[in-house]
């Protein structure tokens, strides 16, 4: 405001006077509060700058099962509140091997799902877990969890295409699942009760793994494809930098 007045009226008034006059006239604008402190902003920037490298480089196929996984969070719209679906997919057969639904897209949700993966596979030593570079996945809490489990973390840089495998699943869940069940407009405008949405969501995941045929798997389900190729297909190796 000081710069505007000085330029338009060709005067030289300092900021303190303008502030006092605006305050006396009840013209001061509302200033948005910062959601984080300066220390928190600095810590977030450090997390982002030091995030793990992208080990996949948009190569979303691996010839050996249970070695490389991708992970993401997608929104689940309901009448009562927003939910968040975290899923982990095996790149070999596109199977959803762990999923978790929560009310916040935070590190705790993702850590809970990683622990489900551990229950399912046992040791996670040496596997690669790839995600985007969002604040959840670059948080020290999440990264420390993966480090303790001896998981090699990979994070994409740039566009959503850098985690296209998980974006593909999210798209299938929305279009073939939620939009089909409830109608796109009704679902996105949050007219459906949480009980119905969550029930259908939990049903969809085993359906996706065990019943839905995938063209890229030779019209087999992910579970069938793994049963026919328990030791893998082509020996593809991703070198660590």
Alpha-carbon gap, residue 215 to 204, rounded angstroms: 18
Q: What is the pLDDT of residue 236?
A: 46
State the burial class of residue 135 (Cβ atoms within 10 Å of its Cβ: 0-12, 13-18, 19+).
middle
Q: What is the pLDDT of residue 21?
A: 86
Q: What is the pLDDT of residue 31?
A: 67
Beta strands in 12-143 (DSSP E): 68-76, 83-90, 95-102, 128-131
Which residue, among 112, 101, 97, 98, has the nearest Cα to 145 in the 3D structure? 112
Which residue, among 91, 163, 101, 93, has the nearest Cα to 134 in the 3D structure? 163
Instruction: Tell me if residue 114 falls in helix, strand or coil.
Output: helix
Structural domain contains residue 134 = yes
Beta pairing, strands 95-102 & 128-131: unpaired
Domain range holding 218? 53-228
Domains of the chain: total: 1
Structure-block tokens of residue 226? 């793994």
Structural domain contains residue 196 = yes
Alpha-carbon gap, residue 79 to 197, rounded angstroms: 9
Lay out the sheet containing 68-76: strands in order across.
95-102, 83-90, 68-76, 128-131, 152-155
Q: What integer best gives the mean pLDDT of the chain?
A: 89
Structure-block tokens of residue 96? 């959803």
Structural domain contains residue 83 = yes
Alpha-carbon gap, residue 154 to 53, rounded angstroms: 6
Structural domain contains residue 32 = no
Instruction: Tell me if residue 152 falls in helix, strand or coil.
Output: strand
Structural domain contains residue 223 = yes
Beta pairing, strands 83-90 & 68-76: antiparallel
Structural domain contains residue 64 = yes
Structural domain contains residue 24 = no
In order along its 241 residues, the chain shows pLDDT tens digits of 888 888 888 888 888 888 888 888 887 777 666 666 777 677 767 766 678 899 998 889 899 999 999 999 999 999 999 999 999 999 999 999 999 999 999 999 999 999 999 999 999 999 999 999 888 999 999 999 999 999 999 998 777 778 889 999 999 999 999 999 999 999 999 999 999 999 999 999 999 999 999 988 989 999 999 999 999 986 444 555 5
Structural domain contains residue 45 = no
Q: What is the pLDDT of residue 73?
A: 96
**What distances in angstroms separate CA 148 from CA 44, 70, 144, 175, one per listed residue?**
21, 19, 6, 37
**Domain of 197: which CATH number?**
3.30.420.10
Q: What is the pLDDT of residue 180?
A: 95
Contact 92, 44 (CB under 8 A): no
DSSP symbol at 173: I
**Distance, first Cα to last Cα, the chain:** 52
């Amino acid at each position: 405001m000081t710069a505007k007045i000085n330029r338009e009226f060709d005067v030289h008034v300092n900021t303190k006077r303008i502030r006092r006059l605006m305050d006396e006239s009840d013209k001061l604008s509302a200033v948005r509060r910062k959601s984080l402190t300066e220390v928190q902003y600095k810590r977030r920037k450090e997390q982002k700058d030091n995030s793990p490298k992208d080990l996949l480089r948009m190569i979303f196929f691996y010839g050996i099962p249970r070695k490389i996984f991708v992970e993401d969070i997608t929104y689940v719209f309901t009448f009562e509140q927003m939910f968040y679906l975290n899923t982990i997919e095996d790149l070999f057969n596109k199977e959803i091997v762990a999923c978790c639904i929560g009310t916040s897209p935070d590190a705790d949700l993702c850590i809970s799902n990683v622990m489900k993966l551990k229950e399912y596979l046992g040791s996670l030593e040496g596997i690669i877990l790839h995600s985007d570079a969002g604040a959840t996945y670059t948080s020290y809490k999440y990264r420390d969890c993966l480090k303790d489990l001896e998981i090699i973390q990979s994070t994409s840089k740039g566009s959503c295409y850098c985690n296209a495998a998980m974006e593909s699943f999210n798209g299938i869940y929305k279009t073939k699942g939620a939009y089909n069940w409830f109608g796109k407009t009704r679902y996105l405008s949050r007219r459906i009760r949480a009980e119905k949405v969550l029930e259908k969501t939990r049903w969809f995941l085993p359906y996706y793994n065990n019943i839905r045929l995938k063209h890229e798997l030779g019209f087999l389900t992910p579970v069938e494809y793994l049963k026919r190729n328990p030791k893998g297909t082509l020996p593809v190796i991703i070198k660590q930098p």
